[in-house]
Amino acid sequence: MQKFGHGTAVGQNIEFIKFALDQGVLRFGHFVTKSGRESPYFFNAGLFNDGAALLQLCSFYADAIESAGMRFDMLYGPAYKGIALAAGTAIEFARRGRNLPFAFNRKEAKDHGEGGALIGAPLAGQVLIIDDVMTAGTSVRESVQIIRAAGAQPAGVVIALDRMEVGQGSLSAVQEAQRDYGLQVVAVANLDDLLAWLALAPGTADLLEQTRAYRARYGIRT
């Protein structure tokens, strides 16, 4: 099949867009982002909030990872949304025949019991970071520091949706992570995939025009 977006096939990307819409995770309307921009769409991965949705979501993550040919030894989920994503993706890989260790962090280190800031398997080898979105890159920066401090190496980052828009400068958070850490960043779908779905779906001409205008104003150069 033809490839589109970040390493996954066109049909799979479109299926993820449809899935996110069905779950109410992806919505159209008038939204103001954290950066103060007026966006015609909004993506809230926290609304993948039941077992069936998480199972399907982590299947999309595993597909994206396999399609991108990422090499890694274990999974790491930054708190808080990354916790369920890393655990769910590990379960999905086990279902596919690959048993992977996983770990996640606490927001605050525990000073009793087992102590420390990490829960799960010891960080070792090539560690793949699993998160929902990448906005300012803070979560990735903290994750890289935690992984390296444990003597392991970050293997890459996987996110659900890449909005493909610039931050304060001319680069997006994804591009900055690629530049600053040399990491491969894979998204299950991105803004181009959303535009492709809008171009195919009936009755979405106005939304397509609005989203294209947003892309033209804030999108990264590719």
Active site residue 30: no
pLDDT of residue 8: 41
Q: Please state, in angstroms and rounded to a whole number, the distance separating the CA atoms of residues 6 and 192.
A: 10
DSSP string for residues in 112-127: STT-EEEEESPP-SEE
Number of domains composing the chain: 1
**What pLDDT sits at residue 211?**
98
List of the chain residues with pLDDT < 70: 1-10, 109-115, 222
pLDDT single digits (tens) 171-208: 999 999 999 999 999 999 999 999 999 999 999 999 99
Total residue count of the chain as it appears in this document: 222
Q: What is the pLDDT of residues 33-47, one digit of tens each?
A: 888 899 999 999 999
Let me know if 34 is a catalytic residue: no
Longest dimension (CA), the chain: 57
Instruction: Quote the pLDDT of residue 2.
Output: 29
Give the model's pLDDT for residue 110: 54
Q: Report the predicted TM-score, pTM, of the whole model to 2 decimal places.
A: 0.90
Residue 14: which H helix or E strand, with range? helix 10-22
Beta strand segments in the chain, E: 3-4, 8-9, 26-32, 38-43, 74-77, 102-110, 116-120, 126-130, 153-162, 185-190
* CATH at residue 175: 3.40.50.2020
Sign for the pseudo-dihedral over CA of 103, 107, 111, 116: positive
Please report how many Cα atoms fall inside a 13 Å half-sphere around the Cα of residue 3, on the Cβ side. Answer: 7
**Given 3, 18, 30, 110, which residue is catalytic?**
110
Question: What pLDDT was estimated at residue 12?
Answer: 80
Q: Residue 41 sits in which domain range?
A: 3-218
For residue 7, the model assigns a pLDDT of 41
